A and B are shown apart, each in its own frame.
Chain A
Amino acid sequence: KAGVTQTPRYLIKTRGQQVTLSCSPISGHRSVSWYQQTPGQGLQFLFEYFSETQRNKGNFPGRFSGRQFSNSRSEMNVSTLELGDSALYLCASSTDGGQGYGYTFGSGTRLTVV
């Protein structure tokens, strides 16, 4: 059974540019969540999608957006990149995102903004 697949693994972008990250969940998983991980802040919740609807949103500026497609694949977009956006972006999927379910994480996309 394939795991959570994130692409690309590494990205280097310039300030002001925009970036799109992709996540394919485990087959059958309908919930996809995105997290930003930095050494100082740990794992910060960005948003969660379930059946193409954003169900939860973290405290990030509007430059961070996402969407989920009918096949449960999800994309995350960051516009007008800032140096502080450099981080590991992790996608996690679960069967229904309900109370009793933990997440399975992908390998992450490491974004460096220069």
Chain B
Amino acid sequence: QKEVEQNSGPLSVPEGAIASLNCTYSDRVSQSFFWYRQYSGKSPELIMSIYSNGDKEDGRFTAQLNKASQYVSLLIRDSQPSDSATYLCAVRPGTASKLTFGTGTRLQVTL
């Protein structure tokens, strides 16, 4: 079982819709969770972090964490073509300081 799993996609959503990206992780004692966005040919950039169960909102982005289900998700409201990118879920397992990344979900926002 991979430490961090994501559906590779592509996930295709129309402009203006809500995009829902999901991630599961295997280490039950993981404490920190991050979402990165990576445009083609660019490096990943941090867009959200979440540490507690529940929702965390930042503009059009909402991160959701459910530690009991070992599940973290990212919702993008009012999706725009500029949101088309690969979204990487990252988890800090246990007490380690390193981040473990999923392989990413490619999001396509269509006009």
Which residues of A pack against B, CB within 8 Å?
31, 33, 35, 41-43, 45, 48, 50, 55-56, 58, 90, 92, 97-108
Contacts and interface: CB of A to CB of B under 8 A. Distances in A.
14 contacts: A35-B101, A42-B101, A42-B102, A43-B44, A45-B98, A48-B98, A50-B97, A55-B97, A56-B96, A56-B98, A99-B31, A99-B95, A100-B32, A101-B32
A42 B103 contact: yes
B63 to A, nearest CB: 12
Nearest to A100: B32
Interface of B: 31-32, 34, 42-46, 49, 51, 88, 90, 92, 95-104
Given A48-B97, A56-B96, A102 B34 contact: yes
Given A43-B88, A105-B43, A107-B43, A97 B97 contact: yes
Contacts, number: 55
Query: Which of B34, B44, B103 has most chain A Cβ within 10 Å?
Result: B44
A31 to B, nearest CB: 7
Nearest to A55: B97
A103 B92 contact: no
A99 B92 contact: yes
A33 B44 contact: no
A31 B97 contact: yes
B43 A100 contact: no
A102 B97 contact: no
A43 B97 CA distance: 16
A33 B102 contact: no
Given A42-B103, A45-B100, A55-B97, A102 B46 contact: yes
A61 B51 CA distance: 33
B49 to A, nearest CB: 5
